[in-house]
């Protein structure tokens, strides 16, 4: 007897998935990522294939890319541990010895735990004055609260300094306040009810001429309120003033503070579009910004890269896959295309 989706209500889904062993495997079921749990996963076969790719006559780049870009991060960690147990060698170090350039960087990022990858990117950004605002805002504003806390813990463990201390020493003013507030992870969760009075109060607070103060309402509202509430605030702000909130930011703020507030507003409005814009800028440079491409494609491959692809095609009239094909060269090209996964018609 067939069972229609109407007869089998949503409340049964967790129970069914639990019996299938997929209840907590979002990367295999209902994901908006391009990289999913490989259901025919065999850690032994993958270890043997990678060992052969490294030790055979010539390094088999294709085999390495095929394995690592078709396994979830959890599965890659299992492969790494199994490789160590079976060969007494560290997989990451073995691959680093066999590879070079951007492909080596991609492989390192794929084999790192997510928290360690984010922590390394955050540290690099804070040490480089030209990218502190851009990359730091990206990581602190777009990671889920649990992943962000894991990232900050990894940061302290690996670099023997707290991320907050580096933020304080490398940034100042409203930018510093924004980043520190985001690092605390205190954004309210959505309760299912929109508080219209609070939304109106927030609009009035943002309209006051306190934008140049590091202690103004901008930091509190944009880093603490939940995105659903902020969407309402943005809408009411435009109705009350006749301009989008971003126009007020451009008028009141300058430099890194303005860039950070605009980035944060973009994340709040539409996170996939925020990433699509970043990818497009990275591809438009005279030489593609491979670090940006790698960071975004890897970090979003198991969460929302399909949505990012859709926003990219909608805004720029060309698919992300085709854009990568046209702009990217070298040994990392196949890996980036594999993470992107497919053309969007």
182-195 pLDDT, tens digit each: 999 888 888 888 89
Please state which CATH number belongs to domain 114-170: 1.10.220.10
* Predicted confidence (pLDDT) per residue in 247-274, tens digit: 999 998 999 889 999 999 999 999 999 9
**What angle in degrees, to the nearest 10, is found between the helix axes of 43-55 and 91-98?**
30
**Cα–Cα distance, 77 to 82 (Å, whole number):** 9
What is the structure's pLDDT at 194? 82
* Predicted confidence (pLDDT) per residue in 158-204, tens digit: 999 999 999 999 999 899 999 999 999 888 888 888 899 999 999 99
What is the structure's pLDDT at 215? 53
Q: What residues contact residue 224 under an 8 Å CB cut-off, 6+ apart? A: 181, 186, 187, 188
* Superfamily of 196-269 according to CATH: Annexin (1.10.220.10)
pTM equals 0.87
User: Residue 209 — pLDDT band, cuts 50, 70, 90?
Assistant: low
Write out the H or E segment, with its range, that includes residue 55: helix 43-55
What average pLDDT does this structure show over 88-109?
97
Please state which CATH number belongs to domain 43-111: 1.10.220.10
Q: Do domains 43-111 and 271-340 have the same CATH topology?
A: yes
| Cβ atoms of residues 205 and 245 within 8 Å | no
User: Residue 211 — pLDDT band, cuts 50, 70, 90?
Assistant: very low
**Cα–Cα distance, 296 to 279 (Å, whole number):** 8
State whether the Cα torsion 22-81-33-334 is positive or negative: negative
**Cα–Cα distance, 201 to 309 (Å, whole number):** 36
Choose which CATH entry (1.10.220.10, 3.40.50.300, 3.30.450.20, 2.60.40.2470) describes domain 271-340. Answer: 1.10.220.10
pLDDT at 17 over 80: no
**Cα–Cα distance, 150 to 130 (Å, whole number):** 25
| pLDDT, mean over the chain | 89
Strands (E), 198-320: none
| Cβ atoms of residues 166 and 126 within 8 Å | yes
What average pLDDT does this structure show over 81-96?
96
What is the structure's pLDDT at 3? 38
Parse the chain into domains and list their residue ranges.
Answer: 43-111, 114-170, 196-269, 271-340
What is the structure's pLDDT at 15? 38
What is the structure's pLDDT at 200? 95
């Amino acid at each position: 007897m067939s069972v229609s989706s109407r007869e089998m209500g949503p409340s049964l889904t967790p129970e069914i998935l639990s019996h299938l062993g997929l209840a907590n495997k979002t990367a295999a079921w209902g994901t908006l990522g391009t990289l999913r749990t490989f259901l025919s996963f065999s850690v032994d076969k993958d270890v043997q294939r990678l060992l052969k790719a490294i030790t055979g006559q010539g390094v088999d780049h294709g085999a390495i890319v095929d394995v690592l870009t078709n396994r979830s991060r959890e599965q890659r960690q299992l492969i790494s541990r199994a490789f160590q147990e079976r060969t007494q060698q560290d997989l990451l170090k073995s691959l680093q010895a066999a590879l070079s350039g951007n492909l080596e960087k991609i492989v390192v990022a794929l084999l790192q735990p997510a928290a360690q990858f984010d922590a390394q990117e955050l540290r690099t950004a804070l040490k480089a004055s030209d990218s502190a605002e851009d990359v730091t805002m990206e990581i602190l504003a777009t990671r889920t609260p649990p992943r962000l806390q894991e990232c900050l813990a990894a940061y302290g463990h690996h670099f023997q300094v707290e991320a907050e201390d580096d933020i304080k020493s490398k940034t100042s003013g409203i930018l510093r306040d924004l980043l520190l507030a985001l690092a605390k992870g205190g954004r309210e969760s959505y309760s299912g009810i929109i508080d219209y009075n609070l939304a109106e109060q927030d609009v009035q607070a943002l309209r006051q001429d306190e934008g140049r103060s590091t202690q103004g309402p901008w930091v509190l509202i944009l880093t603490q309120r939940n995105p659903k509430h902020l969407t309402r605030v943005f809408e009411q702000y435009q109705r009350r003033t006749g301009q989008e909130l971003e126009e007020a930011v451009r008028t009141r703020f300058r430099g890194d503070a303005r860039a950070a507030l605009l980035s944060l507003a973009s994340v709040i409005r539409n996170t996939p579009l925020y990433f699509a814009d970043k990818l497009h800028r990275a591809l438009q440079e005279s030489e593609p910004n491979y670090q940006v491409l790698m960071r975004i494609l890897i970090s979003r491959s198991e969460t929302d890269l399909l949505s990012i692809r859709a926003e990219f095609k909608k805004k720029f009239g060309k698919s992300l896959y085709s854009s990568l094909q046209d702009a990217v060269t070298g040994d990392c090209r196949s890996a980036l295309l594999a993470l992107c996964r497919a053309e969007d018609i």
